[in-house]
């Protein structure tokens, strides 16, 4: 079995968000799936897939899973490159599982658990970012069986934010946390993402103190990751868990954060780190430092499926993200609908990643080729 073709599909989910799926087809007609969404540069990822194609086409996919991880050490490799390699790696695992007629987690050493707990990320499902809208959406997610909810109570920092504006902005965010906690009750875990919007350690500690009555499960990414010691100090001063790290790429990027014990929970993404195997290796590094793992999974169903297999095979898994309610046609995109029962994903039994795209639905939402390709790119966007 040799790789014969690599086909990207770019699907628009909203005015400013898209999913990029990658099919890797063999000369036997078998197809493996991967996902490279949210790179913020789909054209760039397609260009990288074109550049990488000669490293894959004509080779046995089962021989490439580990050997092609060396590509991540190429100089000048940024997010689009990592996204391309990550999508291809996911597809290689999918092919290996299909050929072996086994789920991917079995090829990775077997499952540690029978199901994965998920949280509903409701941040993009609300009509507005006001307390009433988010509380209403939170109650809807809980009604579907979720017992953990995440949202972005502060959103994006206002432009030219004065000290007076900042106090009002923070107070509004606190009101949103209060409203959501009141709506879902005390039995539901509440997670908040601060989206790297803060620079002052003291502001974050003030927020943590003010939301303490609402018993948060975690606080995520208050500021960027360029000061592991500062993050570690914040973590030690907080009551809730400190989570973060989703934008990070290679294993080397995680080392200083883990050594400083900067996070209680790390959030590697199968779309950005190099793929499923890299997420599992990062999880192994985290285990040494006592950190738990919650794979970042805020995009499409293929990356979600890959994250499930990674989570099932790691011992320090905590909880998995699910982007709840957006878009409303998500479940129709795959022939094997994502199975979430009362907030939990049962261990899949289908071979490979266990998901197949419905290409008819992909065609409905696919971006026009002239907006998805760049000059000189020879790999077609189907």
**pLDDT number for residue 38:** 76
pLDDT digits (tens, 9 = 90+) for 339-369: 899 999 999 999 999 999 999 999 998 876 4
pLDDT at 372: 46
Chain segment 224-280, per-residue pLDDT in tens: 888 899 999 999 999 999 999 999 988 888 999 999 999 999 999 999 999 999 999
Mean pLDDT of the chain: 91
**pLDDT greater at residue 43 or residue 160:** 43
Q: Domains along the chain?
A: 3-101+357-372 (3.30.390.10), 106-346 (3.20.20.120)
In the predicted model, what is the mean pLDDT of residues 196-211?
92
pLDDT of residue 160: 79
149, 188 in Cβ contact below 8 A?
A: yes
Task: Give which of 307, 300, 369 is closest to 332, Cα–Cα.
Answer: 300
Identify which of 70-84, 213-227, 361-375 has the greatest average pLDDT. Answer: 213-227
Q: Is the confidence at residue 374, as pLDDT, over 70?
A: no
- Inter-axis angle of helices 251-259 and 228-237, nearest 10: 50
Share of the chain above pLDDT 90, in %: 74
- The confidence score (pLDDT) of residue 15 equals 66
* CA 164 vs CA 10, 129, 325: distances in Å: 43, 20, 35
- Spatial distance between the Cα atoms of 19 and 98, rounded to a whole number of angstroms: 24
Give the range among 24-33, 146-155, 224-233, 315-324 with minimum mean pLDDT.
Answer: 224-233
Q: Look at residue 321 and tell me whether its pLDDT is greater than 90.
A: yes
pLDDT digits (tens, 9 = 90+) for 86-108: 999 999 999 999 999 999 999 99
- Examine residue 375 and say whether the peptide bond preceding it is cis (omega within 30 degrees of 0): no
pTM of the model: 0.93
With b for 16 or more beta-carbon neighbours within 10 A and e for fewer, the 325-346 pattern comes to: bbbeebeebbeeebebeebbbe
């Amino acid at each position: 079995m040799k790789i014969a073709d690599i086909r990207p599909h770019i699907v628009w989910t909203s005015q400013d968000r898209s999913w990029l799926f990658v099919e890797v087809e063999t000369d036997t007609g078998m197809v493996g799936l991967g996902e490279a969404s949210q790179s913020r540069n789909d054209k760039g990822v397609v260009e990288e897939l074109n550049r990488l194609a000669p490293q894959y086409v004509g080779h046995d996919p089962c021989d490439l899973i580990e050997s092609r991880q060396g590509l991540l050490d190429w100089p000048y490799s940024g997010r689009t490159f990592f996204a391309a390699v990550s999508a291809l790696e996911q597809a290689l695992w999918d092919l290996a599982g299909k050929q072996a007629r086994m789920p991917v987690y079995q090829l990775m050493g077997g499952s540690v658990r029978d199901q994965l707990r998920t949280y509903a990320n409701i941040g993009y499902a609300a009509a507005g970012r006001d307390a009433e809208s988010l509380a209403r959406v939170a109650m809807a997610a809980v009604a579907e069986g979720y017992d953990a909810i995440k949202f972005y109570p502060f959103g994006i920092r206002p432009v030219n934010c004065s000290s007076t504006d900042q106090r009002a902005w923070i107070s509004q965010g606190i009101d949103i946390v209060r409203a959501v906690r009141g709506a879902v009750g005390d039995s539901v875990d509440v997670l908040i993402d601060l989206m790297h919007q803060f620079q002052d350690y003291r502001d974050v500690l003030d927020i943590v103190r003010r939301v303490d009555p609402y018993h948060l499960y975690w606080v995520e990414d208050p500021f960027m990751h360029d000061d592991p010691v500062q993050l570690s100090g914040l973590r030690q001063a907080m009551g809730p868990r400190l989570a973060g790290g989703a934008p990070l790429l290679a294993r080397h990027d995680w080392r200083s954060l883990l050594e400083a014990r900067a996070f209680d929970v790390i959030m590697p993404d199968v779309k950005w780190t190099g793929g499923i195997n890299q997420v599992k290796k990062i999880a192994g590094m985290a285990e040494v430092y006592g950190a738990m793992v919650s794979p970042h999974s805020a995009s499409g169903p293929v990356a979600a499926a890959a994250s499930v297999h990674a989570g099932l095979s790691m011992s320090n898994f905590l909880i998995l993200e699910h982007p709840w309610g957006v878009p409303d046609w998500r479940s129709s995109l795959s022939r094997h609908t994502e199975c979430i029962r009362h907030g939990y994903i049962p261990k899949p039994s289908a071979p490979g990643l266990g998901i197949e795209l419905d290409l008819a639905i992909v065609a409905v939402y696919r971006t026009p080729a002239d907006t998805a390709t760049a000059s000189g790119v020879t790999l077609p966007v189907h």
